[in-house]
Homo-oligomer: A and B are copies of this chain.
Amino acid sequence: MDVERIGTDLQDTLVELTDLSLQAKQLHWNVTGRHFLPLHEQLDGLTDEVRAAADAVAERAVALGYAPDGRVGTVAKESPLADVVGGRVADTEVVAHVVAVLGTVVERMRRRIDTLDELDPVTQDLLIGIVAGLEKQRWMFDAQQA
């Protein structure tokens, strides 16, 4: 098994999911506007789901013999996600931002799923399950913009 290549895919995913979970919490605290209540709650659910996914991804890496790196410095330096704005954020802006960053993560993970078909079906299956959840989350935020 090509541990290095699989491990790199998992490491990149870990970085994205860690940043995503921190962004979701940041918005959970700072969202404002008439839609505060359901958004505040939904962002908490998103955080829980993304944290569980990050944990599964990191444990998959170490199970394959690749040491995952979820340290704050690594994530800050390597995350490809658009920055979330500081301070209080209006509800409509929150929705737009979450849809955008979920789009980034999903697109990148889908490319890895393609590659992993050859490399490791077990890791591939893990990422497929995570993407299924993230695409559902993206819909539930995006539907608010329709």
Complex: how many Å from CA A72 to CA B78?
A: 11
| Copies held by the complex | 12
For the residues of A in contact with B, the DSSP-based class is helix
In whole angstroms, what is the CA distance A41 to B72 when docked? 21
Minimum CB–CB distance from A80 to chain B (whole Å) comes to: 12
A33–B92 Cα gap in the complex (Å)? 11
Q: How many residues of A contact B (CB 8 A)?
A: 65
Scan A46-77; emit 1 where CB is below 8 A from any B CB, else 0.
Answer: 00000000010011111110011111111111
Interface residues of A in 29-54 (CB under 8 A from B): 29-42
Q: Does A96 contact B (CB under 8 A)?
A: no
Interface residues in chain A, defined as those with a beta carbon under 8 Å from any beta carbon in chain B:
18-19, 22-23, 25-26, 29-42, 55, 58-64, 67-77, 79, 83-84, 86-88, 90, 113, 117, 121-122, 124-126, 128-129, 131-132, 135-136, 138-140, 143-144, 146
